[in-house]
Amino acid sequence: MSRWRSDFALFDPHSHQPLELLDLLRDHSQLSVELLVGARERLPVRLVALRLPAHLAAQRRRRARANARRDRTLRLTKRYLKLLDWTILLTNVTPQQMNAQQLLEAYSCRWQIEVLFKTWKSHFQLGPLPRRNPVWIQIQLLAKLLAIALLQSIFAPNPFVAQSPTSSKTKDGPWAIEMKRKKCDLDFANREI
């Protein structure tokens, strides 16, 4: 499962004709469709798109514009800004295995795990290890993982216990999962250690 990127080429699985994503999304608040991705290999995937509430889409556009101001190599097209109204995922998981809501929750967990690993690498120097002695490398790695486990248990005793984000009290409905990261919330990953 991965997030759709603007440089992905999409094709109709039957005619192999190129597809315009905005045309597919028009008139839908949620879409799940089988198609092909890739200019050369054309791999079969399932595209799942979920329209965000207007205020969350506006927040995404503000972030994109701020990033473009910082990095002059980024070019924001009208098409790209319109597509920010959507969370778009590509997966090989069938609708019978996971519905669109479950995919979004799984992606949210995946993202939090990536943030967690990035934090571990930066705070515990889990990047390159010396190559001198394999036993010494194993000792260093195990010691660092033990330290991480101990600190994690101190700062976040139950990091994977989360309230159900799809309850009727959730203001933004299921889309709040992506933006607020309540599911699989690993708040301790953002704390200074």
**Positive or negative, the Cα torsion across 24, 26, 27, 28?**
positive
Spatial contact of 37 and 9, defined as CB atoms under 8 Å apart: yes
User: pLDDT tens digit string along 7-18?
Assistant: 888 999 999 899
Residue 102 has a pLDDT of: 87
Residue 26 has a pLDDT of: 87
**HEC-encoded secondary structure of 11-58:** ECCCCCCECCHHHHHCCCCEEEEEEEECCCCCEEEEEEEEECCHHHHH
User: pLDDT tens digit string along 132-160?
Assistant: 788 888 888 888 888 888 887 777 655 55
Question: What is the spatial distance between Cα 121 and Cα 147, in angstroms, rounded to a whole number?
Answer: 13
pTM: 0.61
Spatial contact of 44 and 70, defined as CB atoms under 8 Å apart: no
User: pLDDT tens digit string along 102-120?
Assistant: 888 888 788 778 887 787 7
Across the range 66-86, mean pLDDT stands at: 89
**Sequence-ordered list of residues with C-beta below 8 angstroms from that of 34, at least 6 positions apart, any chain:** 13, 44, 45, 46, 47
Spatial contact of 52 and 87, defined as CB atoms under 8 Å apart: yes
Across the range 58-65, mean pLDDT stands at: 94
Q: What is the SS3 assignment for 167?
A: coil
